[in-house]
Amino acid sequence: MHSDTRQTMALGAALITVGAVLAAAAIAGGLAAISHMADAATLCGPETNHCILCVVSAASLLASLGVVGAGVMLRRSARLNPPAAARA
């Protein structure tokens, strides 16, 4: 764990920002996948296997949740566990 609370908080904020950008990309990919499934329902959709666009948008959404969760937990741990020098 990092010893500097400000650095840890900044790293947590950066992870949350990266996660939010990844979530926005996942949403855009999801909207493209929905449009693609509507256009090519016989190739990709509920009755058939999904294409790579569908899989990537779902994986990106899961990854964004993981990154945001890591950032939130890092910021929370920095607030709850200040460095020993700050406690003294």
Residue type present at position 80: L
Average pLDDT of the chain is: 83
Reduce the DSSP state of residue 78 to 3 states and report it. Answer: helix
What is the domain range of residue 64? 5-82
* pLDDT tens digits, one per residue of 13-36: 999 999 999 999 999 988 988 888
Residue 83's pLDDT band (cuts 50, 70, 90): low
pTM of the model: 0.74
Residue 88 lies in a domain: no
Summarize pLDDT for 52-82 with one digit per residue, the tens: 888 888 899 999 999 999 999 999 988 887 6
CA atoms within 13 A on the CB side of 22: 19
Residue at 54 is within a domain:
yes
Q: State both tokens at 52.
A: 């790579």
Question: How much of the chain, in percent, has pLDDT values that exceed 70?
Answer: 86
Q: How many domains does the chain have?
A: 1
In a domain, 50, yes or no: yes
Instruction: Classify residue 39 by burial, with Cβ atoms within 10 Å: 0-12, 13-18, 19+.
Output: exposed
Let me know if residue 35 belongs to a domain.
yes
Q: Within a domain: residue 69?
A: yes
DSSP for 1-58, written as a single string: --S-HHHHHHHHHHHHHHHHHHHHHHHHHHHHHHHHHHH-TTTSSTTS---HHHHHHH
In a domain, 21, yes or no: yes
